[in-house]
Amino acid sequence: MKVLVPPNKLREQLVLVRWVGLLFSSAALNSILLLIIAETFKAEAIFLLISFLVSLFIPIFLSIGSTLYLITIGEKRLVKPMDIEFLTIPMIAVVEYIKYYQDPISFLMRVTFLGLYLVFLGLLQNATTVSILGVSGGRSQCITEILVANSSCRDLKQLLSDHSICEALEIFPLKDLGEFCVLHTPEGIGFNCFIFLFSHPQDGFRSVLLFVGYNRTPFEIVRDRLSRHRLIGRKTYLLALLSNKVSFDSSYTLESFVQAFPKFDFASDKAHDYALRPTRVPLLRIKGLPTSAKAILFGIVAPILVCIALYSAGFLSVSDLVITLVPIIVALLFGLLTIIIGRKE
């Protein structure tokens, strides 16, 4: 008998295959660049600076490019720089072993130093990449539950505004965002729960509560059994708190409710978009920076280009170039990180 794979499961498998391919390709390219640097090593200040910048930024650029590609095919999955560095270590170790197999002490010293150096860089690169790209995840990592209340949206909103309910569920007070209202747990690492209140798509005397939850790690959001139990627990607790005031229909799943009331699909998209804010890509919103911020960035980048041009033309010595570039690059990194982190929700 032929076994059919669900479309969503098949898409996740294809994304995983692409992710693995991009990870290995990025590690191979990173290894080649590091080996070129090692072969042409010179004990000069400008070379040391360039070598450090290449080893620091190339994995970040590879991570950004690979992750943005995965986003274009419909699934956000981070190709983390640390993973690239971890794969780079054995790739370079193989080349180093071929060169130094007759001198195992030199081989072990070089590989150990390389491993510690790349792991240190990976920690910095991961933090930078998450600030630029956000965390991995999408709707497929969200857990959902739905309740249909035999009460109007206005009446249920008043009940949910009671602070005793917020304290009992350990959630923030109700926020009215116009198209919907939302209650949610403190957002951050760990379990995140969102309770959305919508008007019923066809019956003005009823309303809909949509529960969305997931477990958030420093790099991704995931659905797991514990998060599902905690989400169902909050739904059950809310039912108990409101049982004497409102009756609920809990027979629907989100899929069956959208199938019965297709208009609710738009509301569901709005709710998931709000809950998945940590997965948004700050880099794609840089075009919305105020003019003053863009001017500051241009004022930092332009001197870098001018200094490189002067050095290439022979008007600037190596020491002067290094002395000029280092504070500018530090200011650029600090400014970019400040802007990106400041633009997070």
Give me the pLDDT at residue 194, please.
Answer: 93
Q: Are residues 305 and 221 in the same domain?
A: no
**Per-residue pLDDT tens listing for the chain (345 residues):** 444 444 556 666 777 888 888 889 988 888 888 887 777 666 566 666 667 777 888 888 888 888 888 877 767 788 888 999 999 988 888 887 887 777 778 788 888 888 888 888 888 888 888 878 888 888 888 999 999 998 888 888 888 888 888 888 888 888 888 888 998 988 888 899 999 999 998 888 899 999 999 999 888 888 888 989 999 988 988 888 888 888 888 888 889 999 989 989 998 999 999 999 888 877 665 555 555 555 655 666 676 667 766 766 677 676 666 666 666 666 666 655 555 555 444
Domain end residue (candidates: 100, 117, 133):
133
Q: Are residues 111 and 51 in the same domain?
A: yes
Report DSSP state, residue 219: S
User: Phi/psi at 249 (nearest 5 deg)?
Assistant: -110, 115
Number of domains making up the chain: 3
| Total Cβ atoms within 10 A of residue 216 | 20
Boundaries of domain holding 224? 139-279
Q: Which amino acid is at 89?
A: I
CA distance 258 to 265: 6
Instruction: Provide the strand spans (E) within 175-332.
Output: 175-176, 181-184, 190-199, 207-216, 221-222, 248-249
Q: Which amino acid is at 226?
A: L
In a domain, residue 2? The reply is no
Domain end residue (candidates: 133, 150, 181):
133
In a domain, residue 186? The reply is yes
Q: How is residue 199 written in tokens?
A: 């008007």
In a domain, residue 262? The reply is yes
Q: Are residues 47 and 69 in the same domain?
A: yes
- Length of the chain equals 345
Q: Are residues 209 and 318 in the same domain?
A: no
Q: Are residues 273 and 214 in the same domain?
A: yes
Q: Are residues 82 and 125 in the same domain?
A: yes
Give me the pLDDT at residue 192, please.
Answer: 93
Give me the pLDDT at residue 196, please.
Answer: 94
Q: Which amino acid is at 27?
A: A
In a domain, residue 85? The reply is yes
CA distance 211 to 145: 5
In a domain, residue 1? The reply is no
Rg of the chain over all Cα atoms, to the nearest angstrom: 26
- 20 to 10, 88, 129, 138, 170: CA distances (angstroms): 15, 14, 18, 18, 39
Give me the pLDDT at residue 62, please.
Answer: 86
Cβ atoms of residues 273 and 212 within 8 Å: no
Which string of DSSP letters, residue by residue, matches 110-149?
Answer: HHHHHHHHHHHHHHHHHHHHHHHH--B--GGG-EEEEEEE
- Report helix, strand or coil for 207: strand
Q: Are residues 152 and 220 in the same domain?
A: yes
Q: Are residues 67 and 94 in the same domain?
A: yes
Cβ atoms of residues 223 and 144 within 8 Å: no
Which string of DSSP letters, residue by residue, matches 266-297?
Answer: HHHHHHHHHHTGGGS-GGGGGGGS-HHHHHHH
Burial of 246 (0-12, 13-18, 19+ CB in 10 A): middle
Alpha carbon 96 to its chain's center: 34
Q: Are residues 62 and 83 in the same domain?
A: yes
Q: Are residues 144 and 271 in the same domain?
A: yes
* Long-range Cβ pairs for the range 65-73 (8 Å, 24+): 66/19, 66/22, 66/23, 66/26, 67/129, 67/133, 68/133, 68/281, 69/18, 69/22, 70/15, 70/18, 70/19, 70/22, 71/281, 73/15, 73/18
The residue written with tokens 């998945």 in the block is 276
Domain end residue (candidates: 83, 108, 133):
133
CATH of the domain at 210: 3.30.310
In a domain, residue 147? The reply is yes
Q: How is residue 57 written in tokens?
A: 């930024």
In a domain, residue 233? The reply is yes
CA distance 130 to 220: 10
Q: Which residues pair with 215 in a beta bridge?
A: 191, 222
Q: Are residues 162 and 217 in the same domain?
A: yes
Q: Are residues 214 and 337 in the same domain?
A: no
In a domain, residue 333? The reply is yes
